[in-house]
Amino acid sequence: MIQQTPMPPVPPARDANTTLVDVRGLKVHFPIKGGLLGRPVAHVKAVDGVDLFVRRGETLGLVGESGCGKSTTGRAILQLIRPTSGSVKLGGTELTTLSEREVRKRRKDMQMIFQDPFASLDPRFSIGQIIAEPLQNYKKYNNKKELQDEISHLLEIVGLNPFFINRFAHEFSGGQRQRIGIARALALHPSFIVADEPVSALDVSIQAQVLNLLEDLQEEFGLTYLFVAHNLSVVKHISDRVAVMYLGRVVELAKSEALYEMPLHPYTQALLSAIPVPDPTIEERRKRIILEGDVPSPVNPPPGCNFHPRCWKAQEICREVIPPLEEKQFGHYAACHFPG
Amino acid sequence: MAENLLEVNNLKTYFYTRGGTVKAVDDVSFGIRAGETLGIVGESGCGKSVTALSIMRLIARPGKIVAGEINFNGEDIMEKNQNELTDLRGSKISMIFQDPMTSLNPVYTVGFQIAETVKRHRKDVTHEQAWRRAVEMLDLVRIPDAKRRAKNYPHEFSGGMRQRVMIAISLACNPQLLIADEPTTALDVTIQAQILELMKGLSKEFGTAVMLITHDLGVVAGSCQDVIVMYAGHVVESAPVKQLYETPAHPYTIGLLQSIPRLDDQRGVKLNPIAGQPPDLLNPPPGCPYAPRCPRVQTRCWQERPELVQVGRGTQAAACFYPS
Amino acid sequence: MDTRKEQGQDLAQGAMLGRVPDPAMISMDEVSGMAEPELERSKRPATPLQDSLRRLRRDKRAMVSLGILVFMVLIALIGPPIYQHIGGPYVNQITGQTVGPQSYHNYYYENLADQDQGPSAQYWLGTDQLGRDILARLMQGILVSIFVALFVEVFDVVLGISIGVLAGYYGGLIDQFLARFTDIMLAFPGLLFIIMVAGIFGSSADSFFSHVPVIGPNGNARLLLVGIVLGIVIWPFTARLVRGQTLQLKEQQFVEAARTSGTTNTRIILRHIVPNLLSIVVVTATLNLSNTIVGEAGISLLGLGVQPPGSSLGKMIADGAQNITSYPREVIIPCIVLTLIVLCFCFLGDGMRDAFDPRSKD
């Protein structure tokens, strides 16, 4: 018996003119092969029915702990992982039904900034070659100088000296490598960028530099970001709206301040109370909600609301009916039977 | 001031590599009193982990502790031989590391690994007694169904549980000092909250002093009584926790506090990043290590290295010529 | 700490644009009067390949081994022409003819009057039981061994990389084929297969191809056959190695980034995956070379490889073994040379592995 997540009522905010990315019912299930014939014996339900939308020019933060499926969601939206089911629309065009070749044509509109500044750059490529790659895939250049000029310009935009265009990735520091990754993502002037934990691997003092850079670039080029991260403080700072994920589903979606001031979903409440604040007076006075147990495995998510085994408000209905992501207050969505 | 359980004086640990000498820890001094929690805060490369390893005398070639005293319970650890050191480790001073995935031996049950520690340090204990202690410890770190789970292998536990097992192993012989090197960095934030609560509770219950090493200023604010801030192998500030956050004196501390986003920040507040790049440990500038990035740098800062001097009232100290 | 990181630190300090123009900041050169060091502008960028080669150069054992091997190849190539000009004319006691060094310093020239001689001015390493100059035969033998080994390796590397990469990247049928083929080769006694093929088809191959230039009638066709069969037997192992590496590389973030940038699969394979594989393949090929040489020696030892009057190290050992009690020199010399070659390849391969592996200790 499969519980279907009912389609949420279309809220007024999600109109075609302002919405750039529209995701409904997104599912990504990875089969686990087993047995003699290699048949799928179970599925890892990494993304299990995600709805969200991103307006032009805004930053939507996607936050959650490990195993919640946020990175997979980002990749599924970009069609780097083909979704098992669901719909992803970019600027009105449905992406999930496109062939691989057609998707590749659209790649210049949707790019990604990767998490690991060391693994996301080919160690055998100079940074000029790294940035040239997307350019050469989609544009023709009359001569080498034209290409080089464009690369130099991109390097300057992200704050790197174009003189070092022929250097290799390993000669730069973590923060600089991340800037190279950002330059690569910007090269094709995409409208939509998924930033997958772009600052998590950087030192604290460098994180602020890169975050400021991302914000400046957004303003200058009118970019739309999906900012995926596990650090809620960082996400809240850079995002206009935030979606909280738990075990493959979005449990709450709201404006950043609203999420912080009035979290409706119990998981969000627990998450917020767990985050340490650099202020000893506040820390002393805090009442922490300590969740029991560990995150269940995405192979066997609990029935009904997948948070109910750890929720202090859980009732009968929570075990039986999957709560839909509904608008509880203006612009503030939560998937809970007993929000607030 | 009460006598210190651990006192580190002028510790210097250098690494002699083919590229040059890396002064990972360059003249570091601090103390921890019995039962208190000291936070050591800094970014990667600042020398905090190397300090911890130096205290445990776990520095291997090409590293070497070139100078300094480490007084534990009045005795200098630098003077001890290998046998005395292995006696010390695990029973008087314990350490837990960042990555719970790789810190446990995958081929032995967790109960065995705890019992092994007990038997190593208490020769008079039988196997049954050691096993009982292991189950006791697992219970103490709140692993449900401890008796059965003692027979499980590390891969049968989640990350947070494995870190609890590490804590159980390290506390099994009731050490006086627990060194925790980034114990929650690899864990989710809700699990982190659980582990920090646990550590605080155990420290209070058993009177264990804790040296908590982390880069997270939020973690320090919630768990420590005193804090030292490290940069490029030096201690740049040392203060009781409230004073550090309310009246930070060293420009690096101020810079750090201003550059991290906080949950209670107003919307639209721009972060104030620290300019420049992480320090070059191979060719440090002759004066203050923070000079290349300091917004208040003066001529003197480039030429002389500042020592820790008292600022304000109380025990706060900063290594700066022009502290706040 | 990596020396690369040391360069990186210097670079890091200078690579940023827009250094803070804060009037309050006093820069170092005003203080010390020194110009700020021209950060690495003059230094040429070091590709990972150059880095690895530099590390290889530091490994003395590998360098010495490389030197010895190069020396041997040179000797095998230019030795014979030189050797054939050294020495005066000499009367062959059996035929009564006067012969010059072009003849008696040749590897196939038999002089039954001069059997089993010790080293002398005329025959620098002595002669074997058929009166042939050992040094000349040695040089020819080394040449044959190295050529066969190179031929086999080229075959191995080309097939191994192409099929291995395709199997690892695309999976599916190619992967299945590779897996089954490798299983067969593992189960199959490779040496026996070679012996069988060489034994059955050897002589017919010789006569069949004797008209083809370069190959000629000297048993080279048979050698070629042996080479091909050796190649068929060992390429699956290289392919498996390549497949494993490809599987790993495929999951790396920079490959994912290339896909996001719109790079086609073909270009990803050619520009991202294969170059990152080459280091492993080169190391394996170097180590395989020594195995191949020994394999060829074994085949020739059994009489299935090089035929008389041709020479190969294995053949020389086989011939010399017959006289091992009376003239041990004849077997010891080729044995020493063979051992030396193998050792050198092993040290070189080890050195290369340490130099190319980015995770090796520095």
pLDDT in tens, C30-46: 333 222 233 344 355 67
Segment B74-108, tens digit of pLDDT: 888 888 888 888 888 888 899 998 887 788 899 99
Nearest Cα residue in chain B from A258: B267
**β-sheet bridge partners, residue A21:** A54, A90
CB-nearest partner of B19 from C6, C24, C32:
C6
Q: Is C353 on the interface with A (CB under 8 A)?
A: no
CB-nearest partner of A294 from B44, B160, B220:
B160
CB pair distance less than 8 Å for A122 and C258: yes
Residue with the larger pLDDT of the pair A27 and A170: A27
pLDDT of residue C70: 92
pLDDT of residue C134: 84
Tell me how far apart the alpha carbons of residues B167 and B169 are, in angstroms, rounded to a whole number. Answer: 5
User: What is the domain range of residue A155?
Assistant: 16-334
CB pair distance less than 8 Å for B278 and A212: no
Segment B235-283, tens digit of pLDDT: 999 999 999 999 999 999 999 999 888 888 877 788 888 888 888 888 8
Among the listed ranges B31-45, B166-180, C99-113, which one has the minimum average pLDDT value?
C99-113
CATH number reported for the structural domain that contains residue A269 in this entry? 3.40.50.300
Tell me how far apart the alpha carbons of residues A70 and A228 are, in angstroms, rounded to a whole number. Answer: 7
For residue A340, being part of any structural domain is answered with no
Q: Which two tokens stand for residue C115?
A: 């059997």
Provide φ and ψ at C259, rounded to 5°: -65, -40
Q: Which two tokens stand for residue A250?
A: 């979005």
pLDDT of residue B253: 93
CB pair distance less than 8 Å for C257 and A115: no
| Whether complex ipTM tops 0.90 | no
pLDDT of residue A216: 93
Percent over 70 (pLDDT), chain A = 94
pLDDT of residue B20: 86
Interface of B with C in 17-46 (CB under 8 A): 17-20, 22
Amino acid (1-letter code) at residue C15: A
> Between the CA of residue B162 and those of B87, B211, C228, what are the distances in Å?
25, 20, 54
Segment A296-327, tens digit of pLDDT: 888 888 889 989 988 988 889 999 999 988 89
Three-class DSSP category at B213: strand
Task: Give how far C26 is from chain B: nearest CA, Å.
Answer: 7
- Which chain B residues are closer than 8 Å to C59 by Cβ? none
Compute CA B299 distance to the chain's CA centroid, rounded to the nearest angstrom: 34
Tell me how far apart the alpha carbons of residues C110 and A180 are, in angstroms, rounded to a whole number. Answer: 70
Nearest to B309 by CA among B297, B294, B323: B323
Nearest Cα residue in chain A from C251: A119
Name, in order, each residue with C-beta under 8 angstroms of B245's C-beta and a sequence gap of 6 or more: A278, A279, A280, A281, B217, B221, B257
Name, in order, each residue with C-beta under 8 angstroms of C336's C-beta and a sequence gap of 6 or more: none
pLDDT of residue A14: 56
* Neighbouring C-beta atoms of residue C50, cutoff 10 Å: 12
Tell me how far apart the alpha carbons of residues A52 and A318 are, in angstroms, rounded to a whole number. Answer: 22
pLDDT of residue C42: 38
Tell me how far apart the alpha carbons of residues A115 and C187 are, in angstroms, rounded to a whole number. Answer: 44
For residue A152, pLDDT over 60 is answered with yes
Tell me how far apart the alpha carbons of residues C46 and C52 are, in angstroms, rounded to a whole number. Answer: 10
For residue A8, being part of any structural domain is answered with no
Tell me how far apart the alpha carbons of residues C121 and A279 are, in angstroms, rounded to a whole number. Answer: 92
The average pLDDT across B185-214 equals 90
Tell me how far apart the alpha carbons of residues C308 and C301 are, in angstroms, rounded to a whole number. Answer: 12
Q: Which two tokens stand for residue C317?
A: 């050992």
pLDDT of residue B225: 93
Segment C125-184, tens digit of pLDDT: 888 878 788 888 888 888 888 888 888 999 999 999 999 999 999 988 888 888 888 888
Chains in touch with C (3+ beta-carbon pairs under 8 Å) read: A, B
* Mean residue pLDDT across chain C: 77
Segment C215-271, tens digit of pLDDT: 555 666 777 778 888 888 888 888 889 999 999 999 999 999 999 999 999 999 999
pLDDT of residue C181: 82
Q: Which two tokens stand for residue B311?
A: 């600022």
For residue A1, being part of any structural domain is answered with no
How many domains would you assign to chain A?
1
For residue A339, being part of any structural domain is answered with no
Residue located via tokens 């997948």: A306
For residue A277, being part of any structural domain is answered with yes
CB-nearest partner of B295 from C9, C10, C22:
C22
The CB-based long-range contact list for C271-278 (8 Å cut-off, 24+ gap) reads: C272/A122, C273/C165, C273/C169, C273/C246, C273/C249, C274/C161, C274/C165, C275/A124, C276/A122, C276/A123, C276/A124, C276/C245, C276/C249, C277/C161, C277/C165, C277/C242, C277/C245, C277/C246, C277/C249
CB pair distance less than 8 Å for B282 and C2: no
SS (H, E, C) chain C: CCHHHHHHHHHHHHHECCCCCCCCCCCHHHHHCCCCCCCCCCCCCCCHHHHHHHHHHHCHHHHHHHHHHHHHHHHHHHHHHHHCCCCCCEECCCCCCEECHHHHCCCCCCCHHHCCCCCCCCCCCCECCCCCEHHHHHHHHHHHHHHHHHHHHHHHHHHHHHHHHHHHHHCHHHHHHHHHHHHHHHHCCHHHHHHHHHHHHHHHHHHHHCCCCCCCCCCHHHHHHHHHHHHHHHHHHHHHHHHHHHHHHHCCHHHHHHHHCCCCHHHHHHHHHHHHHHHHHHHHHHHHHHHHHHHHHHHHHCCCCCCCCCCCHHHHHHHHHHCCCCCCHHHHHHHHHHHHHHHHHHHHHHHHHHHHCCCCCC
CB pair distance less than 8 Å for A171 and C17: no
Among the listed ranges A10-19, C1-10, C281-290, which one has the minimum average pLDDT value?
C1-10
Strands A59-63 and A241-246: parallel
For residue A188, being part of any structural domain is answered with yes
Residue with the larger pLDDT of the pair A237 and A12: A237
pLDDT of residue B224: 93
pLDDT of residue C269: 93
pLDDT of residue C82: 82
- DSSP code per residue over B155-212: GGS-HHHHHHHHHHHHHTT--SEEEEESTTTTS-HHHHHHHHHHHHHHHHHHT-EEEE
Are B227 and B238 in contact by the 8 Å Cβ rule? The answer is: yes
Segment B40-82, tens digit of pLDDT: 999 888 999 999 999 999 888 889 999 999 999 888 888 888 8
For residue A254, pLDDT over 80 is answered with yes
The average pLDDT across C62-77 equals 90
Are B253 and B316 in contact by the 8 Å Cβ rule? The answer is: no
Q: Which two tokens stand for residue B183?
A: 């114990």
- DSSP code per residue over A287-340: ---PPPS-PPPTTSPPSSSTTGGG-TT--HHHHHSPPP-EEEETTEEE--SS--
Are C295 and C230 in contact by the 8 Å Cβ rule? The answer is: yes
Residue located via tokens 């050792």: C343
Tell me how far apart the alpha carbons of residues B192 and B184 are, in angstroms, rounded to a whole number. Answer: 5
Nearest Cα residue in chain C from A166: C45
Q: Which two tokens stand for residue C11?
A: 């670079």
Cα–Cα–Cα angle for A312, A315, A317, rounded to 5 degrees: 140
pLDDT of residue A1: 40
Tell me how far apart the alpha carbons of residues A206 and B279 are, in angstroms, rounded to a whole number. Answer: 12
Tell me how far apart the alpha carbons of residues A250 and A119 are, in angstroms, rounded to a whole number. Answer: 29
Quickly count helices (H) and strands (E) in chain A. Answer: 11, 12
Q: Which of C7, C13, C43, C260 to mutate to test the interface with A (most CBs of A within 10 A)?
A: C260
- Burial degree of C193 (CB within 10 A; 0-12, 13-18, 19+): middle
Q: Is C10 on the interface with B (CB under 8 A)?
A: yes
pLDDT of residue C261: 92
CB-nearest partner of C1 from B22, B285, B292:
B22
Q: Which two tokens stand for residue B258?
A: 């201003």
Tell me how far apart the alpha carbons of residues C142 and C156 are, in angstroms, rounded to a whole number. Answer: 21
Tell me how far apart the alpha carbons of residues C1 and B16 are, in angstroms, rounded to a whole number. Answer: 9
pLDDT of residue C5: 40
* Mean residue pLDDT across chain A: 88
For residue A5, being part of any structural domain is answered with no
Strands A332-334 and A110-113: unpaired
The average pLDDT across A232-241 equals 92
Three-class DSSP category at B69: strand
Q: Which of C2, C9, C16, C30 to mutate to test the interface with B (most CBs of B within 10 A)?
A: C9
Q: Which of B162, B188, B257, B266 to mutate to test the interface with A (most CBs of A within 10 A)?
A: B188
pLDDT of residue A129: 93
For residue A37, pLDDT over 50 is answered with yes
Q: Is C25 on the interface with B (CB under 8 A)?
A: yes
> Is the N-terminal amide bond of B62 cis, ω within 30° of 0?
yes
> Is the N-terminal amide bond of A6 cis, ω within 30° of 0?
no
For residue A9, being part of any structural domain is answered with no
Are C106 and C309 in contact by the 8 Å Cβ rule? The answer is: no
For residue C17, pLDDT over 90 is answered with no
- DSSP code per residue over A213-244: HHHHHHHHHT-EEEEEES-HHHHHHH-SEEEE
For residue A74, pLDDT over 90 is answered with yes
Are A64 and A244 in contact by the 8 Å Cβ rule? The answer is: yes
Amino acid (1-letter code) at residue B141: V
Tell me how far apart the alpha carbons of residues C109 and C136 are, in angstroms, rounded to a whole number. Answer: 10
Q: Which two tokens stand for residue C152?
A: 């086999």
CB pair distance less than 8 Å for C28 and B285: yes
Q: Which two tokens stand for residue B243?
A: 């004073």
For residue A212, pLDDT over 50 is answered with yes
Give the pLDDT band (50/70/90) at residue C14. low
> Between the CA of residue B96 and those of A66, B52, B93, B104, C283, what are the distances in Å?
22, 10, 10, 11, 39
Give the pLDDT band (50/70/90) at residue A16. low
Amino acid (1-letter code) at residue A340: G
CB-nearest partner of A277 from B263, B269, B278:
B263
Tell me how far apart the alpha carbons of residues A60 and B213 are, in angstroms, rounded to a whole number. Answer: 33
CB-nearest partner of A211 from B196, B271, B277:
B271
Tell me how far apart the alpha carbons of residues B164 and B187 are, in angstroms, rounded to a whole number. Answer: 12
